Amino acid sequence: MLVTWRYKKRRSIIQYFDPRAWLIFYACFLVCTLLFWDVRFLAFFLAIALLVTFNTGIQWREMKRAWLFIGGFVLFFSFLTFLTGRGGIEFYQTEHIIRQFSAGFSILGWTPKLTISAEKTAYAISMMVRVFSISSMTILIPYSLNPALYGVTFRGLGLPDKIAYGMDLTMRFIPTFGRDFQSTKDAQRARGYELEKLSGGLIAQVRKLVPLLVPVTIHAIASSEDIIDAMDLRAFGIGPRTWLDKLSYQTRDRLLIAGGVAMVVMCMALSLLGVGKFWVPGFLIP
Partner 1 sequence: MPEVDPLIIEDLTFRYRNRSEPALKHVTLQVPKGELLLVAGASGCGKTTLARCINGLIPRSYKGDLDGMIQVLGQDVSSLPLSHISQMVGTVLQDPERQILGTRVLAEVAFGLENLGWERQRILATAEEALDTMGVLNLRDRETFSLSGGEKQKVALAGVLAMHPQILLLDEPLASLDPASARETLERVRALAEAGMTVLMVEHRVEDVIRYKPDRVMFMSEGEIRYLGPLQGLEKAVNYHEVKLPVKMILPLAAADPPPPPLVSAVEAKPGTAPLVTFQDVAFGYDPEQSVLKGISLTINSGDVIAVLGPNGAGKTTLVKHAIGLLKPKSGQVLIGGKDTQDLSVAEIASNLGYVFQSPSHMLFAPTVQDELEFGPKNLGHPPDEIERDVKRALEIVNLEGMEGDPPLALSFGQQKRVSIAAILAMRSRILVMDEPTAGQDYKNYMQFMHSIMAMPGFEAVLFITHDIDMAVIFANRVLLVAEGRLVADGPPHQVLADQQRLTDCRLVPTTLLQANLENFGRTGAFLRAEALAHAIAPG
Q: Does 241 bind partner 1 (CB under 8 A)?
A: yes
How many Cβ atoms from other residues are within 10 Å of residue 257's Cβ?
20
CB of 145 to partner 1, least distance (A): 11
What is the CA angle 256-262-268, rounded to 5?
140
Phi and psi at residue 129, to the nearest 5°: -65, -45
- Tell me if 203 contacts partner 1 by CB under 8 A: no
As a whole number of angstroms, the distance between CA 286 and CA 278 comes to: 18
How far apart, in whole angstroms, are the C-alpha atoms of residue 264 and residue 222?
43
Residues 156-195 that bind partner 1 (CB under 8 A): 169, 172, 180, 183-184, 186-194
Q: Which of 178, 147, 141, 143 minimizes the C-alpha distance to 165?
A: 147
Residues 244-283 that bind partner 1 (CB under 8 A): 244-246
Q: Which stretch binds partner 1 (CB under 8 A): 30-38, 65-73, 93-101, 236-244?
A: 236-244
Q: DSSP label at 110?
A: B
In the three-class reduction of DSSP (H, G, I as helix; E, B as strand; rest coil), residue 117 is classed as strand
User: How many whole angstroms separate alpha carbon 278 and alpha carbon 138?
Assistant: 24
Burial of 221 from C-beta contacts in 10 A (0-12 / 13-18 / 19+): exposed
Whichever of 112 and 237 has its CB closer to partner 1, that residue is 237
202 contributes a contact to partner 1 by CB under 8 A? no
Residue type, position 177, single letter: F
For residues 195 and 266, which CB has a smaller minimum distance to partner 1 in the complex?
195
Among 84, 229, 258, 265, binds partner 1 (CB under 8 A): 229
DSSP string, 214-251: HHHHHHHHHHHHHHHHHHHTTTTTSSPPPPSS-----H
| Complex with partner 1: residue 226 or 285, whichever CB lies closer | 226
The contact mask relative to partner 1 for 120-159 (x = CB under 8 A, - = no) is: ---------------------------xx-----------
Footprint of partner 1 on residues 42-101 (CB under 8 A)? Answer: none
Of 63-71, 75-83, 123-131, 226-234, the window that binds partner 1 (rule: CB under 8 A) is 226-234
The C-alpha angle 266, 269, 273, rounded to 5 degrees, equals 140
**Shortest distance, position 12 Cβ to partner 1, whole Å:** 18
* CB-nearer residue toward partner 1: 71 or 211: 211
In the set 224, 226, 269, 281, which binds partner 1 (CB under 8 A)? 226
CB of 67 to partner 1, least distance (A): 19
Stretch that binds partner 1, among 43-51, 86-94, 98-106, 214-222 (CB under 8 A): 214-222
Angle between helices 161-189 and 210-232 (to 10 degrees): 140
Q: Does 2 bind partner 1 (CB under 8 A)?
A: yes
Nearer to partner 1 among residue 163 and residue 258 (C-beta): 163
Binding interface with partner 1 (CB under 8 A) = 1-4, 147-148, 169, 172, 180, 183-184, 186-194, 210-215, 218-219, 222-223, 225-246
